[in-house]
Amino acid sequence: MSAFGTSDAGRPQSIYSGEVAQQFIMPTINVPSRRPFTEAGKGLGRLKLLVAGVGKTALIRTITQSCSHIVHVDPTVPVAMASKGFLPTKTMPNSPPISQGTFQITETLASTKPYPSWWKDSAFSSPTPAPILTEDTILDRNICLVDTPGYQETCRPTDTMGQVSQYVESYLQKSRLDGLEDPDVLKTISGSGGLLVDAVLYMIPSSGLSATDIHYLRQLDALTNIIPLIAHADTLTLEQTAAAKKHIAQQLAEADLGLFSFDPSTDGVGEQHIYAASSELGSDSEVMDASLLMSSEYEVIAHLERICDEFVKRVARKREAGNEALIRDARGKIFTYGSFRLGVFGPGSDIDTLVVAPKYVTRADYFEIFPNLLKEMAPPGSITDMAVVADAFVPIIKFEFDGISIDLIFSRIAMLKQLNKDFTVQDSGLLRGLDEAELRSLNGTRVTDEILSLVPEESTFKLALRAIKLWAQRRAIYANIMGFPGGVAWAMLVARVCQLYPKAASSVIVNKFFHIMRRWPWPQPVLLKHVEGGPLQVRVWNPKLYKGDQFHLMPVITPAYPSMCATYNITRSAMTVIQQELSRGCDITDNIMLGKSPWSDLFVKHTFFTKGYKYYISVITASTDKEAHKIWSGYVESKVRVLVQGLEQHQSIALAHAFNKGYERRHRCTNEAEISQVQAGSFSFLAKDSDVKEEDFEQEGKVEEVQPVETKPDLSGIPGLKTEPTNDAHGLKTEENETQPGVKTEGVKSEDDNSKAPSQIPKHNPYTDVFTTTHYIGLTLSEGAKSLDLSYQVENFKALCTQWEKYDAVLNSLNVQHVRSFNLPDDVFEANETKPQKPQKKRVIPNANGAAQIKKRSASEENQEPPAKRQQASVTAAG
């Protein structure tokens, strides 16, 4: 068998059994099961590349993941060097394991070739082809990437050099024509490539060649071609790369080593060609400087661990002041989950973090002590934008630590009074005695670890997930709190596709993701494994037992016990929007796989404000204290989904699409009247952060005038449309020139007129800063809608928010308004986006008598049907 051959062991083996393997195969999807074949790949002969030096394994992985011509990759297998003759013996995945380590040479076989014609004919002519002739087994493995151990990791560098040289020489011996099989003889003579190692990619550090490197290169130069690569070039500047190339070229010339040249005319003589191996593919929203970002994030985690230990010690002193042993050994644990733990975080990503404490620490202790302790123990000024939401579905503290966003949740362990240093949360028995909020908190880390353990190939999963996360963020469908899937839900969806296609490349996983999820028969749940039972009396997702679980529209079930629905709050409108985006993703990735479109097309920004809707609802939270506003706006944000669900029930609304984030603004006012205008949605007193300086609080200054943005709705486009409360059950028709807001928008004010007003300003400060956060909901009206009374939904929403026990009418206000697309504020548009313009009314030309001309219909037009109204978007399919 040749080095590029295959065997039955190379067939794709299902990693599942029983019902799990039958859960959802999607046999009706007629799309490629792997990368599409390319013309360049079809014409490529046999190629065997050996990689030596530093950074070898990462380079091989990058080649197999990124090369668009490679349609299939086999699992990497070790190669055993025979004791006699040094002939490599290929070991198969089912063979007894060979000792692993830096001394082991491995091979990765890949294919760029199309299926043979006989396979295509038989595949379509026979409904049940022979099991042994699966798609993977009949592909011609024409690419072989050989990974070698690094000599700097062994005791004697000559051992590695000798082993690699023997490997290359063994194929030189096998390539003698008298020893080849007929197909290999023909391929060798025809120039299609044979068994030889065609080239060595030698990875060189930027510091240059060592004496051992030069000795290694001399041995390999006598056996095959050498292509030098500067390793980790993406960590170097252009100047550093150029200097490294010059230095290495000089070293090679002094050693009289000739290198392979892609230009046949040079024949290796003249300028030395040295290349740079970089993992950076170009400008990308997810590119970051790992050396800076990673270190700061892990430093933040270390700070949190120290703060967590002190927090537990303080509670221990409070509970048992005389128990010195308890206080001395008191400690908590910090666990990460979500994107950070999955390894797919990027610039601006939150670090989802869990604080775990012993049983004597309560959630009340956490919210009472931890926020102040954070500010006390963290470096001065490092904690900013803190918001405490104790009443959320998962109680949380949100803040920024040195510019890095942290989401901090809490759970105690009711079974333990002390936590060991090596404590983990994988034992399901630790869930005993916890309430539902604590279970949800503790399950974050458990779910993340389960996801990583259930995917066939972790690196493929992570790369595909990064793409899907970026797509969801760019298309504004990434926000659990606003009714869209969150990071964990998207991760589980991608993981399910990886399970269905365990050997597919990341690009194929992305394409398959859109096709499978668009056709998924919701509300059938997405499961990574069977829902497990357990010894605890806790609720596990079960729509047959719990009626509430039957109303989940797109259930994605967490794999860790107790299983829960990660998408319980997806609304009908959000589901419709997601399905629209999945359809768009199908079309774009199909073109990408065919080479007709670039990947950047998939990540084009959403058009929510530019082309999405004509009518919007804006939810404005305002406060005159920054810290109070964080708390108030966070609570209202968690309830916007309730308003969306109320709007969906209105017979005149087909779609209520909440944007996935709010817009924070700062205003500077000098009196009560200006504050009231800001609370009502005015932008006349908007101030940039750069305009607000500390010295403004000590001396009078003039605020630069900002041109107001008109936010009063123009409802002339919809006769009879009305959104303010009325006693007329049928709704009054809106006059053409009416300028009153479409929704009754009075802010919620204190009934006590003698209470301290929020605008009482110290004499040394002439300004009051008003902080606002605005959430936007795009509306699509039902066909034929002539009137729209949203007063019931709006008033219910206001009542829900203002009845919160922490609501302070002196500091906080809530306003809901209707806004037309052309009245949206400028800051929701980017520089390259076009803001919708107000439609121009047709000019009426008077006749000779001064009256407007009215065109009468002819008799033939009298009985004609009126023109059909434009079809509005519907959520019927999502119901």
Residues with active-site annotation: 339, 350, 352, 407, 469, 478
461, burial (CB in 10 Å: exposed 0-12, middle 13-18, buried 19+): buried
Give strand pairing partners of 406: 351, 399
The answer, yes or no, to whether the previous bond of 358 is cis (omega within 30 of 0) is no
Helix, strand, coil percent values for the chain (each to nearest 5): 35, 15, 50
Calpha distance 59→325 (Å, rounded): 52
Number of alpha helices (DSSP H) and beta strands (DSSP E) in the chain: 20, 20
Calpha distance 503→513 (Å, rounded): 14
DSSP class of 101 = S
Give strand pairing partners of 775: 619
From 206, 254, 199, 246, select the one nearest 227 (Cα to Cα).
199
Residue 702 sits at the vertex; the CA angle it makes with 700 and 705, to the nearest 5 degrees, is 155
The answer, yes or no, to whether the previous bond of 114 is cis (omega within 30 of 0) is no
Other Cβ atoms less than 10 A from the Cβ of 318: the count is 12
* Pure H helices in 741-856: 791-802
Q: Which two tokens stand for residue 848?
A: 């000779």
**What DSSP element (H or E) covers 669?**
strand 663-669
Calpha distance 226→223 (Å, rounded): 9
Q: Which two tokens stand for residue 411?
A: 């759970």
**679: three-class secondary structure by DSSP:** helix
Q: Is the dihedral of CA 157, 159, 163, 166 positive or negative?
A: positive
Distances, alpha carbon 648 to alpha carbons 501, 556, 651, in Å: 37, 23, 8
Determine contact, residues 602/285, Cβ cutoff 8 Å: no
Q: Which two tokens stand for residue 83?
A: 């004791």
* Pure H helices in 96-181: 117-125, 135-138, 157-174
Determine contact, residues 76/107, Cβ cutoff 8 Å: yes
Backbone angles phi, psi at 202, to 5 degrees: -100, 115
From 748, 771, 619, 623, select the one nearest 685 (Cα to Cα).
771
Distances, alpha carbon 400 to alpha carbons 67, 375, 387, in Å: 39, 11, 10
Residue type, 755: S
Q: Which two tokens stand for residue 700?
A: 């009078």
Calpha distance 656→659 (Å, rounded): 10
Q: Which two tokens stand for residue 212?
A: 């051992």
From 752, 743, 760, 756, select the one nearest 814 (Cα to Cα).
743
43, burial (CB in 10 Å: exposed 0-12, middle 13-18, buried 19+): exposed
From 847, 615, 829, select the one nearest 722 (Cα to Cα).
615
Residue type, 102: T
Q: Which two tokens stand for residue 360?
A: 């004597």
Determine contact, residues 787/729, Cβ cutoff 8 Å: no
Distances, alpha carbon 218 to alpha carbons 22, 165, 173, 206, in Å: 55, 11, 20, 20
